Amino acid sequence: MSTRIEDYAMIGDCETVALVGRNGSIDWLCWPRFDSGAIFAALLGSPENGFWSIAPVDGIARTNRKYRDGTLILETEFETTDGAVLLIDYMTVRKGGSSHVVRIARGLRGQVRMCSRLVMRFDYGSIVPWVNRIAPDAIKAIAGPDMVVLRSDQEFQAEGMSHASSFTLGPGQTAHFVLSYGSSFKPIPDAIDPMEMLDVTTRGWQGWTERYVPRGPYTEDVLRSLITLKALTYRQTGGIVAAPTTSLPERLGGERNWDYRFCWLRDATFTLLSLLNCGFDSEADAWRTWLRHAVAGNPGQVQIMYGLAGERRLPEYTLSWLDGFQGSKPVRVGNAAAGQLQFDIFGEVMDALFQAQMAGLATRQTDWDLQLKLVEHLETIWREPDEGIWEFRSGRRHFTHSKVMAWVAFDRAIKSIENFALEGPLQRWRSIRDEIHAQVCKHGYDENVGSFVQSYGSTDLDASCLLIALVGFLPPSDPRIKGTVETIGSKLRIDGLIRRYDVDRSKDGLAGDEGAFLACSFWYADNLVLQGRRDEAVVLFEYLLSLRNDVGLLAEEYDPVARRMLGNFPQAFSHVALINTAHNLSTSQKPAERRSGHKCHRES
């Protein structure tokens, strides 16, 4: 049976991650960064594109796995007819630029024959490295700037273009493996003690999770999602990648395959809220710092996404030698959507920085100067069409959500002036805010549909309209909001989950269907909370929790028919939405009041 997306777990060092299958195989690892070329790319191709497996030789009768409490250390128990073995997988915190994947196999019961097979391929599985033995317990692989060293107390033998080791474990016996990355032009990475570093890594993760401020009945669920977000945070800059993978399909066999190893500005508000609500002020401040640095410069050149360190050039190209996840081609690297015009990012940036101020994070005059320039630029362009939140590649339209978020940008700028005694053209911005509000209510709502719609003049539904009440644009009691929630819940809902839009009518230039979008399903639950339908929200939220895999991870989408995950994995946006909905169900303050800093905007 083919490995499914949900069959993977994640380990990482806050600069990159590895995906480990239930079968003990690491099928995806980009080194040295999230967005680097993969040394293991079997996830998107075949075993010949690189993997590293450790598993029983005679097949597995049962597999159980979990993360060690409060950590990203994965423990997988393999049970066979001969006994049982525990496989511990983790990555250490980097020191000196070296990155280490550590795998420890420990016998539990009986005598279990094991095999480790290693196929190293650089540049997304395309380059076979030069491998040589550098010590009795170590081999080195080099290709261009990349170097990988394997150290183990088990002997590896070359088998064609791969290496393998066979060994038997009885109760209490262990086998240690450390795969280390470094630059080929520098000394080889220093050896580490696998057991000592296991203790160090455990203490490091648990020390971080102890800062979590529990709230409500979903403490463990929220904590697992917070650990996931931490793992997706690029330690050197504070930027958070949308996902650590590229081209995991939104439809199996389809072409909706995108590279998500970048930082989207629209994630800013949701992420900042989730971190602040859970007591992680330093992480929220690091994310805000990344945000400020990324958007600094000419406001006319602001992008919807950036690289891990704020890089602006993210050219998109395809990898022809990879067949894609279960035949889903093309495999893409880079993302051409970085050049799109999307007005919602102005609202997200202004909202994120407003939330930071409301939470007490200090704001400098230079920060406000940057916000002033962004909003002044938005003044000149907000009446134009754009590509929208879902990054359609079929031309620009007047998307309702985009205009609402333009309203948010002006609204938060106004409230920043009012609440924090900042300087700005208050009356002019109030006038523009009112103009946008009136325009959206006139052109973004369709009386016959009974809902806000995807774009002006359209009758298509779009789940992004669920954000209208959440950002405080209209109160949840407004009949148009109630109608929007009911209509989306009726027309875009499948097996309890919410799709982004009707794909067949989206005119986005790409063929095929897609699953339900998990973040939209959480937004729907948030709207139920707003409307006082808490019991319904709890039912939906707990159903969404049940869709996580066995170690608590979510992809971007879920196919309720095939009952499997779709899209890049794990998805930060899904986990951020989970955290925020859990918080909304655990507080007496309504989400829209918290987002906007006051009671919802008056009806108009």
Say how many C-beta atoms besides its own lie within 10 A of residue 364's C-beta. Answer: 9
Higher pLDDT, 598 or 81: 81
100-139, pLDDT tens digit by residue? 999 999 999 999 999 999 999 999 999 999 999 999 999 9
- Please check whether the domain covering 211-596 is classified as CATH 3.30.930.10: no
The residues with which 11 forms a beta bridge, in sequence order, are: 18
Q: Is-contact 264 305, C-beta < 8 A?
A: yes
pLDDT tens digits, residue range 336-347? 999 999 999 999
Q: In the prediction, which pLDDT does 579 show?
A: 95
pLDDT digits (tens, 9 = 90+) for 362-415: 878 888 999 999 999 999 999 999 999 998 888 899 999 999 999 999 999 999
What's the pLDDT score for residue 506? 45
Q: What is the pLDDT of residue 167?
A: 97
Q: Give the pLDDT band of residue 598 (cuts 50, 70, 90).
A: very low
Provide the token pair at 483: 């109608």
Q: Does residue 360 have a pLDDT over 90?
A: no
Tell me what the mean pLDDT of segment 552-559 comes to.
Answer: 97
| pLDDT above 70 for 278 | yes
Closest CA to 160 of 123, 127, 128: 128
pLDDT exceeds 80 at position 63: yes
What's the pLDDT tens digit per position in 326-338?
999 999 999 999 9
pLDDT at 234 exceeding the cut of 80: yes
**Tokens of residue 199, six digits:** 């203790």
Give me the mean pLDDT over the 193-212 stretch: 96
For residues 241-253, average pLDDT:
96
What's the rounded mean pLDDT across residues 418-423? 93
Q: Identify the bridge partners of residue 174 per DSSP, sorted by sequence position.
A: 106
Specify the domain boundaries for CATH 2.70.98.40 within the chain: 5-187+199-208
Q: Which of 267, 344, 268, 288 is nearest to 573 (CA)?
A: 267
The tens digit of pLDDT for each residue in 160-197 reads: 889 999 999 999 999 999 999 999 999 999 999 999 99
Token couple for 274 = 């989730």
Give the model's pLDDT for residue 365.
87
Q: What pLDDT was estimated at residue 297?
A: 86
Count of Cβ atoms closer than 10 Å to residue 393 Cβ: 11
Least confident of 35-49, 266-280, 587-601: 587-601
Over the stretch 518-547, which tens digit does the pLDDT of each residue have? 999 999 999 999 999 999 999 999 999 999
User: Which residues share a beta bridge with 62?
Assistant: 79
pTM, entire model = 0.94
Q: Where in the chain is the domain with CATH 1.50.10.10?
A: 211-596
- pLDDT in the model for residue 503: 65
What's the rounded mean pLDDT across residues 559-580?
96
pLDDT at 603 over 60: no
- The per-residue pLDDT for 596 is 57
pLDDT in tens, 10-55: 999 999 999 999 999 999 999 999 999 999 999 999 999 999 999 9
DSSP string over 142-203: EETTEEEEEEESS--EEETTEEEEEEEE-TT-EEEEEEEEEETTSPPPPP--HHHHHHHHHH
Q: How confident is the model at residue 215 (pLDDT cuts 50, 70, 90)?
A: confident
- Name the residue type at position 104: I
Amino acid code (one letter) for 381 = I
CATH placement of domain 5-187+199-208: 2.70.98.40
Comparing 100 with 268, the larger pLDDT belongs to 100
**How confident is the model at residue 600, as a pLDDT?**
38
Quick one: what percent of the chain has pLDDT higher than 90?
Answer: 81
Q: Left, alpha or beta for 50 (phi > 0: left; psi -120 to 50: alpha)?
A: left
pLDDT digits (tens, 9 = 90+) for 452-488: 999 999 999 999 999 999 999 999 999 999 999 999 9
How sure is the predictor about 588, in pLDDT bands with cuts at 50, 70 and 90?
Answer: low
Alpha-carbon torsion angle 246, 229, 102, 247, nearest 10: -10
Distance between CA atoms of 236 and 379, rounded to whole angstroms? 34
> Average per-residue pLDDT in the chain?
92
Using 50, 70 and 90 to split pLDDT, how confident is the model at 597?
A: low
Name the β-bridge partners of 141: 131, 148
